[in-house]
């Protein structure tokens, strides 16, 4: 992998290479559009494919096309946010790169397992560029159950979704769940502007005439202003 901005060439690991802006990734891209854990590049024999982690609104592209996961060919340009890299040294195989890898069929889930997955993915589906999935403790507090019970559910979910042991296991699970469409992004929260307009619809600071319903008078009745001497103005 050659980083286009710097020209630095980074070798891929034999199995999975993590890419992102965080300190714990294998290939670190110092770009604000890149998530802390943005994507993985997976090697399976002579084949190499990239997997977007699904937790970034900036996404991953191959040769300009947004992808979820895609087989790579020698010379492909992969964009993580706005950071671009070029892949090299990939053996040529008769694989159609335009076909994304078929996703696995979602396993059967209990109602409680769906609740755990929803709570797990809720932070990741916020409007932030990257937010880590919920921890077992946070899920337990959300569902009002014990942390031990949540950990048991997570272990069964790892098995059902075939998530191998290792680092970022919760993130891998959340990525699979989001990619399969089992949980959906949360709708944006619209916060009304404060003090932009009173309830009666008048602009702020407007002086109400005496007799206006909002000023305590009767509808349709307007009190004429008086002069300084107390006489009613004509």
pLDDT score at 88: 93
- As a whole number, the mean pLDDT across the chain is 77
Nearest of 127, 125, 129, 145 to residue 137 by alpha carbon: 145
Q: What is the pLDDT of residue 183?
A: 76
The domain made up of 2-104 has a fold known as Tumour Suppressor Smad4 (2.60.200)
pLDDT digits (tens, 9 = 90+) for 27-55: 999 999 898 889 999 998 888 999 888 76
The domain locations on the chain are: 2-104, 111-180
Q: What is the mean pLDDT of residues 72-95?
A: 88
The span from the CA of 22 to the CA of 220, in Å, is 66
What is the dotted CATH code of the domain comprising 111-180? 1.10.10
Greatest CA span in the chain, whole angstroms?
A: 100
Cut 0.75: pTM above it? no
Give the pLDDT band of residue 158 (cuts 50, 70, 90).
Answer: very high
Give the residue-averaged pLDDT of 196-208: 47
């Amino acid at each position: 992998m050659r980083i286009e901005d710097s020209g630095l060439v980074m070798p891929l690991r034999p199995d999975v290479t993590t890419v992102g802006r965080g300190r714990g990734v294998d290939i670190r891209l110092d770009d604000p559009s890149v998530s802390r854990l943005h994507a993985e590049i997976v090697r399976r024999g002579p084949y190499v494919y990239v997997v977007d982690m699904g937790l970034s609104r900036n996404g991953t592209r191959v040769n300009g096309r947004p992808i979820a996961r895609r087989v790579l060919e020698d010379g492909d340009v992969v964009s993580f946010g706005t950071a671009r890299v070029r892949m090299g040294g990939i053996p040529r195989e008769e694989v159609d790169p335009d076909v994304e890898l078929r996703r696995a069929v979602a396993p059967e889930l209990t109602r409680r397992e769906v609740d755990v997955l929803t709570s797990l993915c809720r932070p990741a589906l916020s409007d932030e560029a990257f937010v880590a999935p919920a921890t077992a403790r946070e899920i337990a507090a959300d569902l009002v159950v014990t942390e031990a019970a949540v950990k048991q559910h997570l272990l069964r979910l790892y098995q059902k979704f075939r998530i191998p042991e290792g680092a970022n296991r919760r993130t891998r699970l959340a990525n699979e769940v989001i990619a399969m469409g089992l949980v959906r992004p949360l709708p944006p929260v619209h916060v009304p502007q404060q003090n932009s307009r009173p309830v009666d619809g008048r602009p702020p600071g407007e002086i109400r005439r005496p007799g206006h319903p909002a000023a305590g008078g009767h509808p349709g009745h307007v009190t004429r202003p008086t002069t300084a001497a107390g006489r009613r103005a004509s």
